A and B are shown apart, each in its own frame.
Chain A
Amino acid sequence: MKASEPPADEDGPLIARARGGDVRAFEALYRRHVGKVHGLCLRMTREHDRAEDCTQQAFINAWRAIPTFEGRSAFGSWLHRIAVNVVLAQRPRAFEPLPADDDADTEVTFDTPLEVGAIEEAIGRLPPGARDVLVLSGIYGYSHAETAAMLGIAEGTCKAQLHRARGLLRERLGLEDVG
């Protein structure tokens, strides 16, 4: 479970009711999770309208699939996987594979305080492949394995994209000369 996800036991009764077709229960789940799903979609699409479309579609897909949700992962993580699939499905797939990088496990850390807006803007200007990995791994805390599985890429590619993203961010935020 990711750091800011509602505890699974809080979702559990609502999930059980939603699996039985209770729309009200599913609405409650929507209200609990929409912020994170929309945040993920917005960061991956960088377009407000598209992010809203993807968020809607993600919850509709989740409603369709919830009878098959078995609770093996946290509900929020399951929703995120659905949202990532929706975003990727409406995007032309064009990211280039990168070689794996052994140094890519280093935590993405800024040494100097930066405005949130400046970081978000820099993330938004990253190439889609690098941005997806940075968002899922760096912001939402998924492991390389989880991120790679969500994006349908090799774990080595995931690490390489993160390394690339980190380098581009540092460059674009002018951090290369920060000691």
Chain B
Amino acid sequence: MKTPDTVRRLDELPRDIAPARDLWPSIAVRIEAEAAPARPRRRALPVWLPWSITAGLALFASGAWWMTRPGDHGVDAEYRSERNRLAAQLPAVLDTLPAEARIGASQSLDAVRDAREKVLAELKRSGDDPVLREWLADTQQQEVRVMQAIVEAGARGRVL
């Protein structure tokens, strides 16, 4: 029991014990998913986004039903482009993440997409409500942020 690597007191035991794997990617995905509702509004898309474009985002997200509504055809190309770009990378990125992080990432994406669908459903039910449109824009921005966080986490994971 007596070796050169010894301690005499409990407070000489190491306080730092690093986890066996990097926990940050999983944490990053979850806090990004929660960022928008938990903090003052931070917009990934411009604040000046006009209502017509917001309606266009809804069109993109909700499919054929929304396309039948008049005046909602101003789909935001920047948003679509970014979303499509990230969506194309996601399958490969998810494969690079540890199982737990992958599950967490998928759950986060599901959660934000579910939120978006609920807002869309409420918009469909209640008509043209500015508050709901604001929420819709938020959830769509949040979805992009989650996707960005996953892609960034995957990139860092490959480097580490």
Q: Which residues of A contact B (CB under 8 A)?
A: 2-4, 21, 23, 26-27, 30-31, 34-36, 38-39, 42-43, 48, 51-52, 55-56, 59-60, 63-64, 67, 107-116, 118-120, 134, 138-141
Choose the segment among B23-31, B67-75, B109-117 that binds chain A (4+ C-beta atoms closer than 8 Å).
B23-31
Given contacts A34-B18, A67-B39, contact A60 B10 (CB under 8 A): no
Whether the Cβ atoms of A52 and B7 lie closer than 8 Å is no
Residues of A within 8 A of B11 (CB): 3, 108, 138-139, 141
A-B contact sample (20 more), CB < 8 A, given A56-B26, A118-B1: A23-B28, A23-B32, A27-B24, A35-B15, A35-B17, A38-B18, A38-B23, A52-B19, A56-B23, A63-B27, A63-B31, A108-B10, A109-B8, A110-B8, A115-B1, A115-B3, A116-B7, A119-B10, A138-B11, A140-B15
Pick from A21, A109, A113, A138: contact of B39, CB under 8 Å = A21
Q: Interface size bucket, B side?
A: 20 to 34
Complex: A119 Cα to B30 Cα, angstroms: 36
**What 8 pairs across the A-B complex have the smallest Cβ distances?**
A35-B16, A113-B6, A39-B17, A138-B10, A63-B31, A38-B19, A108-B10, A21-B39
Pick from B7, B19, B35: contact of A110, CB under 8 Å = B7
Whether the Cβ atoms of A42 and B17 lie closer than 8 Å is yes
Whether the Cβ atoms of A56 and B27 lie closer than 8 Å is yes
CB distance from B144 to the nearest CB of A (A): 14
Complex: A31 Cα to B23 Cα, angstroms: 10
Residues of B within 8 A of A114 (CB): 1-2, 6-8
Complex: A155 Cα to B1 Cα, angstroms: 34
Closest to B10 in A: A138
Residues of B within 8 A of A120 (CB): 13
Does chain A have a CB within 8 A of B63?
no
CB distance from B5 to the nearest CB of A (A): 7
